[in-house]
Structure 1
Amino acid sequence: MTIEQIANRLVELCRKGDFESAQKELFANDAVSIEPYETPAFEKETKGLPAILEKGNKFQDMVETMHKLEVSDPLIGTGAFACTMRMDVSMKDKQRWDMTEVCAYVVKDGKIVSEQFFV
């Protein structure tokens, strides 16, 4: 897949809230995920697709209601792309989060090898 195809497919799946399919389909087995420092529930860096999937499941288990999910069209470079993702969620602990992150992805050999989130 080209970087454009990867970026567009990731955005398509994320807009549906299907993060796990996006990761399984588009991420390298040794991918790295880097959270912003402001995220207290997760390690700063998660290595490997199985651990990234586990982190996603942990997040989903914390969410009670997804009120809104918006993902921008991607900005595509030669070896990386970025988009914004806005989530308005009620957590099971009754806190409500409405946040927008910049999501940056590095692609190598047709797979996403790293993702990093900025708030």
Structure 2
Amino acid sequence: MTTQEIAQRLVALCREAKWETAQRELFADDAVSLEPYATPAFEKETRGLPAIIEKGHKFDAMIEKMHRLEVSDPLVATNAFACTMRMDVTMKGQGRMDMAELCVYNVKDGKIVSEQFHV
């Protein structure tokens, strides 16, 4: 797949909240995920597809209700792309939150090798 195809597929799956499908289909086995900062729930850096999938499960388990999910169309370069993601969610024990982030992905050999989130 080209970077453009990967970007379009990722955005389509994310718009349906199909995180694990996107990860299994589009991410390299040794992919890296970088958060803006470490939290009690998540490390700043997660390495390897199994750990990234587990991080997704952990995040899903923290959500009581998803009120709205918006993912922008991707901006695509040769080996990288970016999109914005906005979620209006009620988090268990934390109340309702409006979260927005810039998501940047790097692609190599037809797979996403890194993702980095910026708030």
**TM-score after normalising by structure 1:** 0.97
Gap change, CA 1:94 and 1:88, over 3 Å in 2: same
Hey, what's the Cα distance between the residues in 2 that align with 1:81 and 1:60? 24
2:52: which partner in 1?
Answer: 52
1:14: which partner in 2?
Answer: 14
Deviation at 1:39, TM superposition (A): 4.5
CA deviations on 1:52-81 (whole Å, 9 max, x unpaired) are 000000000000000000000000001100
Report if the CA contact (8 A) 2:70-2:85 is conserved.
yes
Unaligned runs of 5+ in 2: none
- Matched AA of 2:7: A
- How many pairs align? 119
Structure 1 runs of 4+ with >6 Å offset: none
- Matched AA of 1:28: A
Q: How does 1:10-89 map to 2 (within 5 A)?
A: 10-37=10-37, 39-89=39-89
- Matched AA of 1:112: I
Q: Say whether 1:101 aligns with 2:105.
A: no
Deviation at 1:4, TM superposition (A): 0.5
Deviation at 1:13, TM superposition (A): 0.1
What SS does the corresponding residue of 1:73 show, helix, strand or coil?
coil
Name the stretch that deviates more: 60-69 or 93-102.
93-102
Deviation at 1:37, TM superposition (A): 1.5
